Amino acid sequence: MAKALCKWRRGEVEANLSTLAIITTPPRVACSKCARVASEKGYVCRPISLVSGEEKKAKKASDHAAKKAKKAKQKAAKKDKKGKADKKARKKAKSDTL
């Protein structure tokens, strides 16, 4: 994780604007000391949540659904790859017996 925004100097802000945009979008936490905002708590030194309980639940549910979909996709790809290997083996065995 990058250095906390609270510790950035002015020159670093100007030099890393694209990184700053990524770190701060969407704002979910704020520093209780200097009020800087970030998308994750690791980017500020004293994080406090800006997200309500409902939004946290919705994000957690969408993250879970995304993980589940990714796992299913990997499983399907593995099964498809295995199926192709089995098909090749059967085809080869059939040609060997003829």
In three-state secondary structure terms, 46 is coil
Could you report the per-residue pLDDT of 61-77, keeping only the tens digit for each? 778 888 888 888 888 77
d(CA 76, CA 70): 10
Note the pLDDT of residue 91.
73
Question: What separation in angstroms does the CA of 72 have from each of 80, 84, 85?
Answer: 12, 18, 20
Which H/E stretch holds residue 30? strand 29-31
Could you report the per-residue pLDDT of 9-43, keeping only the tens digit for each? 989 988 999 999 999 999 999 999 999 999 999 99
Note the pLDDT of residue 46.
93
In three-state secondary structure terms, 32 is coil
More reliable by pLDDT, 26 or 87: 26
d(CA 68, CA 97): 43
More reliable by pLDDT, 13 or 82: 13
This prediction's pTM = 0.50
Is-contact 37 29, C-beta < 8 A? yes
d(CA 88, CA 93): 9
